[in-house]
Each structure stands twice: as C-alpha cells, then as structure tokens.
Amino acid sequence: MITIKAFKGLRPKESLVERIAAPPYDVLSSQEAKTMAAENPVSFLHINKPEIDLPEDVDPYSNVVYEKGRENLVGFIENGTLIQDEKECIYIYRLTWKDHVQTGYFCLSSVDDYDNGRIKKHELTRPAKEMDRTRLIDVMNAQVGPVFLLYPSTSKLDHLLEEGAKRPANVDFTADDGVRHQLWVIPEADFINRVVQGFQSLDATYIADGHHRSAAASRVCALRRKAQPLYTGKEAFTFFLSVIFPHNQLKVLPYNRVIKDLNGLTAQAFLQKLNDAFTVEPRAAAREKVQEHTFDLYLDNQWYTLKAKPGTFNADDPLDQLDVNILMQNILTPILNIKDPRTDHRIDFIGGIRGTDELQKLVDNQEWRCAFSLHPTSVEALLKIADAGKIMPPKSTWFEPKLRSGMVSQLL
C-alpha cells in the first residue's frame, strides 16, 4: 500500500510563476545558475542554489549557504512572491515538450514508504550530496525540490489525471527551453480521496530522479523523530515533496560518457583491445539513435560503432544486459581502469538532451580524450531492476523534460 497526501502548497504568485520557476538545482553549475538568475531577483535559484548570492570563494557546503537559502525563502514569503494555499490540495502537473506529454500528481509521499522499501530505488547516493540536501531541508525547514517518482500505470489513477486536467489550468506557461508547464490546483476532498485510494491499491512507486532528495528527506525525518519522541507520524517532516507520473508516459534519453584519458594506451592500442568484446567499425558521423547493445565512440576526430559480441553480457539478467553495465564491465573497468564512476574524476556524464555534437565538441576542444554515445535505459528495465532490489551504475537514466523547481514547495 502506497501512502500519498494532499498538502497546503507554497506556490508562486501566479503573475510571477514564469519568472520564479527554475531548472532543478542539480542540472546547473553554480556559475550557470548565477548567470541565469543575475537579472531575475525572483528566480527560485536564489532559494535552491543560494550560493549564487554569496561571494564566489564561499564553500557551497558551508552553513552560511543554507542560512542564505532560508533567508531568501522567508523573504519571498514575506513580500508575497510565494503564497501558501489555504486548503490542502492535490496538484496535477503536466509537461509538454515537442510531441511528448506527461502528466503526474504533485503530492506528498511517505518517508515510511521510502524507509520500508515501498518507494523503490535503483541508484546509490553520494554521501556529500545527500548531506547537502539534508542540511538544506533542515535549515530551510522546507522541501523546495520535488522527487520525480513513477507508478505502474493503472486505469483508475490515469483516468483521474485526465479528469483533474479537464478544467482550465491555474498555471500555464512555456519556458525558454520550449517546455510547456501546466499546473492544476485541486482542493476538492472527493477527488483527493479517490487519488489517495488509488495509490493505496499499489504495491510500490519508483524513484525516477531524486535519490539524494528522498534520502535527505529520510535523514531529516529521522533527526526530527529523535528530537520529538512523541511524534504521531502525521507531522509534515514524515512526508516529502514528489511528482508521480504513470510509467508509460515517461521519456528517457541516453546518459552519455566522456573520458579524460586512455589509461596510458595509444588510440591504436585502445581500439585493438576493444576487439576482444566488440566488433569495431569506423563511421562517418554519430548516429542520432544508438541501438541497444551498441555504442558510438568518438576518438581522434573519428566516430566508431562498437557492437557487443555474444557472451559479453548475460541477456537473462536485467542488470547485466544494461548498456551502461556492458560499457562498465567490458571497457571502463578492465581497459580504462575506472572502477567507481561515482568518485573517479576521469569520467563525466553528459545528458542526452545535449546530443552527440556536445560530445564531439568536448573531445575536439581537448577537454576529454574520448566519448561514448549510448542507447537509453528503458523504464521497463528500471522497474525490473528496482523490483529485484538491484542497483544500476550511476547516471544510467536521463529523464526529459525536467520538472521545474518552485512550482510547488512544502513548508515543514
């Protein structure tokens, strides 16, 4: 049984929502966020990346950063930039990008469900990032970034999404990246009860994006339960901000890799070693879409297609047959000596939204030695791996379009 909850959302003044709503904190560097918000004093980046309002030499993990975020949040509330709804609501959030449409429930999810494994994970977290979000939530006393969840599509919940979105949207704008964002505010108790009951019939929901945010919410809840031993389980800190989409509406792009060096090998020697596990063929240009179990490699002004040979992975194992795992097990670890991509600075991850031109540019500029373009991990593979209790390699999925921060926040 999955527990979700309506809440009194903290939302932008509707005339300002287009200026306030901002990309998620983790898709922008501090400098990119500072540039984006420079001419926009109401950008939500002042709240979820508050280091942009401090001197550049300030440690982004220092307490002064989190205090600045709280100061900015309180200021936005006091001057009416952000307003809390008077009634508990369920919100419906729709994103439209080109011909792709996805619609989900903006609500609170249960920390207990997360702690007990009913909200399923597929990635490990980095301790520093997890602690960063923990301190941000705790100092701000608010959840300012939703966790992106999915549920196995059911006719009941899918129908309720359609029903709720029939009325005119309360918020409707198109951001500068071309993504249309619509939000419906639904306070009616009957509708909320039907949605709550619909989720109660599910065995699990799944994290698509936001492993650090959900882990941080769990940490904050544990801290506050320890400080309040007479807690009831209904406190705001026992829930976390989430948007939950039906699995069959999601769009996953590849999460590509760039590599700093060839581990002491020449390009010729590296290509020769690849022949053990792959058929290697040069090609004139990168493909727009890479097929499953194949990779496009860019090295020394030349693209190559690598096709995994039989026996290089177990086709019956949902984790072993992932392309990110095939790359890891057959190239990154044995040839390039990259054993932990979460901590090795010789590898970086490039979202598929940037395309193969970005990969080629990074290598041509000599910032990186080579690049791999991958086939995207499917949502069905994510579900199988999470159900099996297994963990994907880091940066296995890139969901697009991205949720905007600041659309709805939760005060604790």
pLDDT in tens, 4-44: 999 999 999 999 999 999 998 888 888 999 999 999 999 99
pLDDT digits (tens, 9 = 90+) for 160-216: 999 999 999 999 999 999 999 999 999 999 999 999 999 999 999 999 999 999 999
Residue 200: name the closest of 124, 118, 273 by CA. 118
Q: What share of the chain in percent tops pLDDT 70?
A: 100
Name the token pair of 139.
Answer: 């100092």
Query: How would you classify the pairing of strands 147-151 and 239-246?
Result: parallel
Q: What pTM did the predictor assign?
A: 0.90
- Quick one: average pLDDT of 361-369? 95
Q: Is 73 exposed, middle or buried (0-12, 13-18, 19+ CB in 10 A)?
A: buried
DSSP-based three-state secondary structure for 308: strand
pLDDT of residue 51: 94
Residue 356: pLDDT band with limits 50, 70, 90: very high
Segment holding 73, helix H or strand E: helix 63-78
Name the token pair of 403.
Answer: 């949720």
DSSP-based three-state secondary structure for 55: coil
Just give the CATH number of 255-375.
3.30.1760
Does residue 406 surpass a pLDDT of 90?
yes
pLDDT digits (tens, 9 = 90+) for 289-327: 889 999 999 999 999 999 999 999 998 888 999 999 999
| Ranges of each domain in the chain | 4-252+401-411, 255-375
pLDDT digits (tens, 9 = 90+) for 134-158: 999 999 999 999 999 999 999 999 9
Residue 112: pLDDT band with limits 50, 70, 90: very high
